[in-house]
Amino acid sequence: MKIGDLSGRTGVPTRLLRYYEEQGLLHPDRGENGYRSYGAAAVRDVQQIRGLLDSGLTTEMIRAILPYLSGPDEIILPAEHLTPETAALLQGHIDRIQARIDCLARNRDRLSAYLAAVRPDGVAASGSIPHR
């Protein structure tokens, strides 16, 4: 399929698809006319790239692990292929995610405590139960 077809199937603008190619995330074939040609698996690859980007991974991290992804829930990365650099990238990202989770949990708890203190009935917003 051509780049416009891939864009239509994934909802990702052609400009971004070209950027993914520049970053080494997509590897289309080129026809004699120079047009990009994508296989059917490119739809899944683009969806996977989008999901990884949405989760906060950088294109550098994605480039390192993408060859070992066999689907959205499975990573097949033999230990001998995990370089110290890739491990450090992934561990750094895990640490940043955990820091965000900790910060969000503290903010949630503070807001819940504030609502419990200022509301006469002690019920959190929308009648929901505060998380602990």
Q: What is the pLDDT of residue 58?
A: 87
**What pLDDT, in 10s, does the model give residues 73-126?**
566 666 777 788 878 888 888 898 899 999 999 999 999 999 999 987 755 555
The tens digit of pLDDT for each residue in 13-70 reads 999 999 999 999 999 999 899 889 999 889 989 998 998 898 888 898 888 878 777 6
**This model's pTM is above 0.75:** no
pLDDT for position 77: 64
| pLDDT for res 14 | 96
Residue 4 Cα distances to 24, 36, 61, 112, 130, angstroms: 19, 10, 26, 48, 47
CA distances to 103, 120, 131 from 90, rounded to whole Å, are 20, 46, 29
> pLDDT at position 60, please?
86
Query: How many angstroms separate the Cα of 57 from the Cα of each of 28, 80, 100, 124?
Result: 22, 22, 14, 34
| Local structure of 121: helix, strand or coil | coil
